[in-house]
Amino acid sequence: MGEKIVCSGCGVEIQTQNKQEIGYAPPAALEREVVICQRCYRLKHYNEVPDISLSDDDFLRMLNELNTKDALLVNIVDIVDFDGSWLEGLPRFAGNNPVLLLGNKADLLPKSVKKNKVINWMKRRAKEYGLKPVETSLISASSKDSIEEAAALIDSLRRGRDVYVIGTTNVGKSTFINTLIDQFGESETPRITTSTIPGTTLAMINIPLDETAELYDTPGIINPQQAAHFVTPKELKQITPQREIKPKVYQLSAGQTLFLAGLGRVDFHAGEDASFIVYASNEIPLHRTKTEKADQLYADHAGTMLSPPADAETLGGMKMQEWRIPSEKTDIVFAGLGWVTVQGGPVTVRTHAPDGIGVTIRESII
Ligand code: GDP
């Protein structure tokens, strides 16, 4: 048996037999010093994912092994999609291992937001999900904000143990590790594939930390509640915030409706006038209308003015839910899309979203 060759982009074992299966690379690729699979090659050069299968069961099996290890777990969440990127079952996967919770993509929050306030909010949210992290921090892997602080935390918390970087897809695990390698690692360590398309990292990737310990990048599990699964890769780029979010403030009265493209809708059903502040990608079109006209507006303009998605058929209809919003500042979250902060409650609102986009309310992050 020859030595196992793994893709340096996603960590999967390389095979040259079957183009439809994970890890395929043309035989000629094996001649190169750094081997990457065809999937990573195409992701990197064309930003497209060939259709290949790796089941959620495989991801779960890998996560389930974590509690048999003695390691530090670094759980990364996307701070602008906190609930959509929360790793269900994390306390169980972690077992007795300490968890360092890192909120990534802090660069997307409005600059006026106080970092410590967000960190305290993250701690409270984690507790509600049954997790007590040993430390919590807010970072930006791509703009390298607080990376040094995170590296120092990892170093002091791991006490010689291995480190596993875990999180759902697209939270920035690979970017974080690449940033660590760039800043503190040895230059010949190959870069890990990163992209806006969920599910890039397929297998575990390990990077030596010292003579005995290693850092692992685990594959992300796809959270089915994310808006990402209803739109094309191009639309995904549009609805994923790429720059600092500019909040859009609407002073609304009962009987008014706000559309977030063709993916979300908030009807102000009852209550005194209140502020509705939208935090989402600056590229998402917002439309205000009277609730009585909203159904017709959607019927006439879904896929055109109210887009993405260009193809409203993919959504399979919109589901309505009613919410009592308290007097405290509250966020209505559309997983993967953003959130609407309501200030000036109590009010009653009705949300509309495709069945697969999780809508929740929470204490306001900002
Ligand atoms: P992974 O699936 O968790 O490994 O995530 P990736 O590292 O592939 O990143 C997913 C997407 O998020 C890519 O488009 C990255 O460029 C982007 N990203 C990662 N870190 C940051 C960050 O700190 N800020 C912003 N704005 N985008 C980020």
Residue 346 alpha carbon to ligand 1 centre in Å? 36
Longest dimension (CA), the chain: 73
Residues 60 and 198 in one domain: yes
* Residue that wins the pLDDT comparison between 43 and 7: 7
Task: State if residue 78 touches ligand 1 by the CB under 6 angstroms criterion.
Answer: no
Mean of pLDDT over the chain: 84
pLDDT of residue 53: 42
Residue 320 alpha carbon to ligand 1 centre in Å? 31
Between CA 96 and CA 93 the distance in angstroms is 9
Task: State if residue 170 touches ligand 1 by the CB under 6 angstroms criterion.
Answer: yes
Residue 172 alpha carbon to ligand 1 centre in Å? 4
Both tokens of residue 107?
A: 């660069």
Task: Please give the tally of structural domains in the chain.
Answer: 3
Domain span at residue 183 reads: 56-223
Residue 151 pLDDT class (50, 70, 90 cuts): confident
Residues 11 and 150 in one domain: no
Residues 253 and 200 in one domain: no
Between CA 305 and CA 185 the distance in angstroms is 48
Task: State if residue 196 touches ligand 1 by the CB under 6 angstroms criterion.
Answer: yes
Query: What is the CATH classification number for the domain harbouring 153?
Result: 3.40.50.300
Task: State if residue 265 touches ligand 1 by the CB under 6 angstroms criterion.
Answer: no
Please, what is the end-to-end C-alpha distance for the chain in angstroms? Answer: 57
127-152: average pLDDT: 94
Task: State if residue 77 touches ligand 1 by the CB under 6 angstroms criterion.
Answer: no
Backbone angles phi, psi at 3, to 5 degrees: -70, 145
- Please give the number of the atom of ligand 1 that sits closest to the Cα of 76: 3
Residues 43 and 72 in one domain: no
Residue 29 pLDDT class (50, 70, 90 cuts): confident
Task: State if residue 194 touches ligand 1 by the CB under 6 angstroms criterion.
Answer: yes
Residue 230 placed within a domain: no
Q: What is the ipTM of this complex?
A: 0.99
